[in-house]
């Protein structure tokens, strides 16, 4: 007998299909969130300042390297870095590592398979897999892999503009987030 499975799970496994499906659908109902945090205008302004400075800097890089599609990826990183800096996916290891391994996955897929629809899917899938395996999960990294395949990037793309862009975002996050007495960034580096 497997002791690691819960009693409820064992009972659910023995349910008739219609009851199992009903229980499955009930899990999706969710509930009303009662614990929304109070946010001060100061916190909102710090988030806005970080986003403006960080995205301004990577916007300049994007223009310099003529890669406007890179901005959505970094824009999503900005949401995590400047408005949710305490979550694991916003820590430097995840932001920098996630973008770098995703850029590498996208470039490799493009170099070997081109830019077809299935190569785009493969590039993002490999990026997700690599981020999970390296403990650098950062959802915007998926968009970085997509851009690498879609725009047909070479290996230079990984460091310039992606690596430098991720470092710029983290650098701004360190400076701006710590202006608030309620924030500490980063929580950890690796």
Q: Give the count of beta carbons closer than 10 Å to the beta carbon of residue 99.
A: 31
Question: Distance between CA 53 and CA 121 in Å, rounded?
Answer: 32
pLDDT level of residue 161 (50, 70, 90 thresholds): very high
Question: Distance between CA 115 and CA 173 in Å, rounded?
Answer: 33
- Dihedral-angle region of residue 31 (phi above 0 means left; psi in -120 to 50 means alpha; beta otherwise): beta
Predicted local confidence at residue 3, as pLDDT: 54
DSSP letters of 72-109? HHHHHHHHHHHH-TTSGGGSHHHHHHHHHHHHHHHHHH
127 burial (CB, 10 Å; 0-12 / 13-18 / 19+) is: buried
Condensed to tens digits (0 to 9), the pLDDT of residues 51-83 reads 999 999 999 999 998 988 889 999 999 999 999
Condensed to tens digits (0 to 9), the pLDDT of residues 126-150 reads 999 999 999 999 999 999 999 999 9
From first CA to last CA, the distance across the chain in angstroms is 39
């Amino acid at each position: 007998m497997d002791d690691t499975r819960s009693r409820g799970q064992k009972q659910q496994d023995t349910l008739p299909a219609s009851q199992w499906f009903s229980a499955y659908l009930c899990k999706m109902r969710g509930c009303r969130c009662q614990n929304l945090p109070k946010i001060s205008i100061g916190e909102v302004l710090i988030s806005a300042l970080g986003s403006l400075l960080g995205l301004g800097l990577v916007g300049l890089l994007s223009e310099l390297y003529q890669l406007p599609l890179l901005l959505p990826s970094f824009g999503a990183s900005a949401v995590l870095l400047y408005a949710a800096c305490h979550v694991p996916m916003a820590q430097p290891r995840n932001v920098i590592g996630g973008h770098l391994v995703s850029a590498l996955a996208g470039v490799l897929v493009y170099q070997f398979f081109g830019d077809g629809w299935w190569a785009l899917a493969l590039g993002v899938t490999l990026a997700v897999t690599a981020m999970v395996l390296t403990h650098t999960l950062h959802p915007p990294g998926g968009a970085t892999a997509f851009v690498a395949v879609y725009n047909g990037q070479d290996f230079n793309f990984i460091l310039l503009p992606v690596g430098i862009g991720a470092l710029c975002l983290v650098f701004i996050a360190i400076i701006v987030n710590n202006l608030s007495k309620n924030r500490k960034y980063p929580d950890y580096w690796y």
